């Protein structure tokens, strides 16, 4: 697999790499960023945190605004940020911000015309780890996953759908029950078709109700988030985890919104939480 390094930038003793490659999963070029901490320069492998971004984002949003590099450098964590969807003139799109390019929802679409390129679960779980491991010293026995909004949905569902793959999972303002909110109903209906039974396999609350388990979950949610009651519904995740006996730390952060001001404020908390579980 040929990788095209777009940039390498020094930061906190480590390096930020922006890389492009031709994806077999999506059939398009895909771009991702990787922060490699200074501990890796000795040749040692390092635990990896996968970060899944939200609607409209690319790899660049968290790479430039996430304020994760100092903590990752201290903790010895590799941090990988992929794009949120396939892109290109041949990729079906939508004029709305919450669907199409920039809004892949981390599922493998089954419905035309989206099934030709929108295979984001396969990309994140199968292809991208192989690509990253071929070029960067990740320890594939020590993986964590987190994400924001749509990416929080992706982090939760992929951890639940692939038990044992990730040692820890957290999220910032996740869409926890896409089957029950407008963003999710629109995307899952178009990508997966009208059968709501298929949607349950990509809905964190439904997966937990249907028996999927992870050891524990950390969620931060802004109390001033304008999407809180209509699209995010952390109360539904709280109820599902309580019924299933999954330890959930749900922190409502008063005054914080849905933006990277919120994410960057609590990013270090999440990285330290993951590091404790990746090094245990």
Provide the percentage of residues in the chain whose pLDDT is more than 90.
Answer: 97
Q: CA-CA distance, 278 to 280, in Å (whole number)?
A: 6
Q: CA-CA distance, 16 to 167, in Å (whole number)?
A: 24
Per-residue model confidence (pLDDT) at position 43: 84
Per-residue model confidence (pLDDT) at position 1: 66
User: Would you say how long the chain is, in residues?
Assistant: 280
pLDDT (tens digit per residue) in 153-183: 999 999 999 999 999 999 999 999 999 999 9
Per-residue model confidence (pLDDT) at position 41: 87
| Mean local confidence (pLDDT), 60-73 | 98
Is the pLDDT at 212 greater than 80, yes or no?
Answer: yes
The answer to whether 139 touches 48, Cβ cutoff 8 Å, is yes
Domain definitions of the chain by residue range: 3-279
Residues 6+ apart with CB under 8 A from 215: 168, 246, 247
The answer to whether 170 touches 270, Cβ cutoff 8 Å, is yes
Is the pLDDT at 276 greater than 80, yes or no?
Answer: yes
From first CA to last CA, the distance across the chain in angstroms is 33
Q: Which CATH class for the 3-279 domain?
A: alpha beta
The answer to pTM > 0.85 is yes
Residues labelled catalytic: 149, 225, 258
The DSSP result for 108-142, as a single string, is B--STTGGGT-BHHHIIIIIHHHHHHHHS-EEEEE
Least confident of 31-35, 39-43, 87-91, 118-122: 39-43
Per-residue model confidence (pLDDT) at position 142: 98
Torsion of CA 141, 51, 207, 224, to 10 degrees: 140
Chain-wide mean pLDDT for the chain?
A: 97
Q: CA-CA distance, 238 to 254, in Å (whole number)?
A: 18
Is the pLDDT at 131 greater than 70, yes or no?
Answer: yes
| Model confidence band, residue 2 (pLDDT cutoffs 50, 70, 90) | confident
| Model confidence band, residue 74 (pLDDT cutoffs 50, 70, 90) | very high
Q: What order do you get walking across the sheet with 138-147 strand by strand?
A: 3-11, 14-22, 29-36, 78-82, 46-52, 138-147, 168-172, 217-222, 248-253
pLDDT (tens digit per residue) in 221-243: 999 999 999 999 999 999 999 99
Give the other-Cβ count within 10 Å of 203's Cβ: 26
| Mean local confidence (pLDDT), 141-146 | 98
């Amino acid at each position: 697999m040929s990788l095209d390094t777009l940039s390498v930038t020094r930061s906190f003793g480590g390096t930020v790499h922006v890389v492009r490659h031709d994806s077999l999963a999506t059939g398009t070029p895909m771009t991702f960023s990787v922060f490699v901490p200074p501990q890796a320069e000795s040749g040692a492998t390092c635990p990896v945190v996968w970060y899944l971004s939200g609607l409209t984002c690319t790899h660049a949003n968290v790479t430039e605004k996430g304020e994760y590099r100092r903590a990752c450098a201290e903790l010895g964590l590799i941090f990988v940020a992929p794009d949120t969807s396939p892109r290109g003139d041949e990729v079906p799109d939508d004029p709305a911000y919450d669907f199409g390019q920039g809004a892949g929802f981390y599922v493998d679409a089954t419905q035309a015309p989206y099934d030709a390129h929108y295979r984001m679960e396969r990309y994140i779980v199968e292809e991208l780890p192989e690509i990253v491991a071929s070029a960067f010293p990740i320890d594939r026995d020590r993986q964590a996953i987190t994400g924001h909004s749509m990416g929080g949905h992706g982090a939760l569902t992929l951890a639940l759908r692939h038990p044992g793959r990730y040692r820890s999972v957290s999220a910032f303002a996740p869409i926890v029950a896409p089957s029950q909110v407008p963003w999710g109903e629109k995307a899952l209906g178009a990508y997966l078709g009208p059968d709501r039974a298929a949607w349950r396999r990509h809905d964190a609350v439904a997966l937990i109700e249907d028996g999927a388990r992870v050891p524990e979950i950390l969620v931060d949610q802004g109390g001033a988030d304008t999407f809180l009651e209509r699209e995010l519904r952390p109360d539904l995740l709280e109820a599902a985890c309580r019924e299933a006996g999954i330890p959930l730390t749900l922190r409502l952060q008063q005054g914080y919104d849905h933006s990277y001001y919120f994410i960057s404020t609590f990013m270090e908390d999440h990285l330290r939480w993951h590091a404790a579980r990746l090094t245990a």
